[in-house]
Amino acid sequence: MRAILDTNVLVSGILFGGIPRKILECAQRRTFTMVITHDILSEYYEVIERVSKEYNVKRASSVLESIISKAELSFSITLHEPVCIDPDDDIFFAAAKAAKVKIIVSGDKHLKAASGWSGVKVISPATFYKLISKR
C-alpha cells in the first residue's frame, strides 16, 4: 500500500506521538510505502524547523531524516486548477496524481473537503492506521 502523509500527521508523529507516531513507525518498518515529492519534503523540513524551535525539540530533523530515508521519492506535477480551498494543500494532490497514489492521510479539513478528487481519498490517521495494522 502506498500513501502520502500530510505535514500535520508527520509533525504530530515526530513531536507528540499517538496514532501519527504509530503510522511513522509503520513507514519505517515499510508496512506501507510513504510517498514524498521535493515539494512535500521542503514543506516537511520548513514546518519541522519552525515547530521544533517553538517546542524546543532538538532531534526532530534527524528523526525526519530517518523517516524519509525509507520513503519513495516521486516527481510531482503542476495542477492546472486549484483542488483545495487552501492552495498550499494542493501539493499533496499533485503528488498523489503524479505518483498514482490513492490515499492521503490527513485530518486537515481542507484536504478532507477535496477527498475523491481524481480518485484520491483523504482519510484520517486513525482510519489509515486500522488499514495498515491489519497487514
Specify the pLDDT at position 4: 98
Specify the pLDDT at position 41: 95
Residue 43's pLDDT band, with cuts at 50, 70 and 90, is: very high
User: Domains of the chain, with CATH numbers?
Assistant: 2-133 (3.40.50.1010)
Tell me if residue 5 falls in helix, strand or coil.
strand
Judge whether residue 56 has pLDDT over 80.
no
Share the mean pLDDT of the chain.
Answer: 93
Whole-model pTM? Answer: 0.94
Specify the pLDDT at position 59: 80
Specify the pLDDT at position 84: 93
Q: What is the DSSP letter of 34?
A: E
Specify the pLDDT at position 104: 98
CA 3/CA 16 separation, integer angstroms: 21
Beta-carbon contacts of 16 under 8 Å, excluding residues fewer than 6 positions away, are: none
